[in-house]
Amino acid sequence: MKANMGKIDRAVRIVVALIIIGLYLMNQISGTVALVLLAFAGVFILTSFVSFCPLYLPFGISTRKKQQ
């Protein structure tokens, strides 16, 4: 796996995941919506730690800076 996520992309995903988790813990979201959002939060955290998003691959997207 070649990294295709930049620092800002990774940081935004982690912040969004933490917000979703916080909303769930404060009982602001519940039910099926909560489960779906928590699944997204888990994917966001996982992809942030490995710096690779499989959905970027088929579209040729990379938010990582080009190395000289």
Is the overall model pTM greater than 0.95, yes or no? no
Taking the CA atoms of 21, 35, 1 and 68 in sequence, report the sign of the dihedral they define.
Answer: negative
Q: Among residues 24, 68, 15, 66, which one has the least CA distance to residue 44?
A: 15
Residues 6 or more apart from 1 whose CB is under 8 A from it?
A: 50, 52
Contact predicate 1/52, CB 8 Å: yes
Residues 7, 10, 15, 20: what is their CA dihedral angle, to the nearest 10 degrees? 170
Domain residue limits, the chain: 7-50
pLDDT in tens, the chain (68 residues): 888 999 999 999 999 999 999 999 999 999 999 999 999 999 999 999 999 999 999 998 899 987 64
